[in-house]
């Protein structure tokens, strides 16, 4: 298997109900969302959830680049 140079986003938004959005950390080896992914935070406003996920993904990428690691957790 060839690894992509660009890392996929580790944190993603999952819509739980019409008014509850979860930020989850993808923990599977294949990088796909799964039922065992850790819940990081919840939001009642969709926009806020996506803004938060973008923010932590950007911080994670900066941390990974600075430390030269791909498995370091920002949160």
Successive 10-residue mean pLDDT values, the chain, 75 residues: 53 96 91 91 98 96 83 52
Check residue 68 and give its pLDDT. Answer: 83
CB atoms within 10 A of CB 67: 10
* 40 part of a folded domain: yes
Whole-angstrom distance, CA of residue 61 vs CA of residue 1: 22
Looking at the DSSP bridge assignments, the partners of residue 23 are 13, 41
DSSP letter at 70 equals: S
* Total of domains in the chain: 1
In a domain, 5, yes or no: no
Tell me, yes or no, whether 38 lies in a domain: yes
39 within domain boundaries: yes
Per-residue model confidence (pLDDT) at position 31: 82
Q: What is the pLDDT of residue 6?
A: 47
**Residue 4 domain-assigned?**
no
Residue 6 located in a structural domain? no
* Domain span at 42: 11-67
Report if residue 22 sits inside a domain. yes
Is 47 within a domain? yes
């Amino acid at each position: 298997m060839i690894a992509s140079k660009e890392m996929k986003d580790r944190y993603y938004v999952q819509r739980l109900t019409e008014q509850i959005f979860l930020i989850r950390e993808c923990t599977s080896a294949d990088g796909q969302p799964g039922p065992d992914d850790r819940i990081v935070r919840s939001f009642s406003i969709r926009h806020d959830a996506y803004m938060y996920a973008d923010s932590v993904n950007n911080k994670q990428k900066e941390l990974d680049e600075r430390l030269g690691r791909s498995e370091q957790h920002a949160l």
